[in-house]
């Protein structure tokens, strides 16, 4: 029997969805607010569907691959015209 995947974190920032959920104010209702506060969802973007599902259902551990076509990709953190020191991750 093949084990099911367990997806429970943003790998770019090494934050579990449970940690994010526990630390975010109850007023946090958008993916953008999570990205602004924790960085998660703003780098590679793979965790964005899981964060969106967490906001919707409260789930923090997933055993299936989620793909959400309706989510915008993360905004680029830097452009060629910006100073690279200001564009460093997190």
Domain-located, residue 38: yes
Domain-located, residue 72: no
Which range of residues forms the domain containing residue 42?
9-57
On whether the CB atoms of residues 49 and 68 are closer than 8 A, the answer is yes
Q: Is the pLDDT assigned to residue 88 strictly greater than 90? A: no
**Structural domains counted in the chain:** 1
Whichever domain contains 33, its CATH number is 1.10.10
Query: Tell me: the pLDDT tens digits for 26-51?
Result: 888 899 999 999 999 999 999 999 99
Domain-located, residue 79: no
Domain-located, residue 42: yes
10 φ, ψ (degrees, to nearest 5): -85, 115
Model pTM score: 0.75
CA neighbor of 51 nearest in space, from 89, 7, 88, 90: 7
Domain-located, residue 52: yes
Domain-located, residue 81: no
The band of 2, judged by pLDDT with boundaries at 50, 70 and 90, is: confident
Q: Which residue has the higher pLDDT, 39 or 74?
A: 39
CA neighbor of 45 nearest in space, from 31, 61, 55, 59: 31
């Amino acid at each position: 029997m093949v084990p099911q995947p367990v997806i429970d974190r943003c790998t770019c920032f090494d934050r579990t969805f449970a940690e994010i959920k526990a630390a975010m104010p109850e007023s946090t209702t958008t993916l953008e607010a999570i990205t602004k506060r924790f960085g998660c969802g703003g780098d590679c973007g793979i965790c964005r569907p899981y964060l969106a599902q967490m906001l919707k259902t409260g789930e923090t551990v997933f055993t299936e691959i989620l793909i959400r076509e309706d989510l915008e990709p993360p905004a680029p953190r830097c452009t060629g015209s910006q100073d690279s020191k200001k564009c460093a991750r997190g």
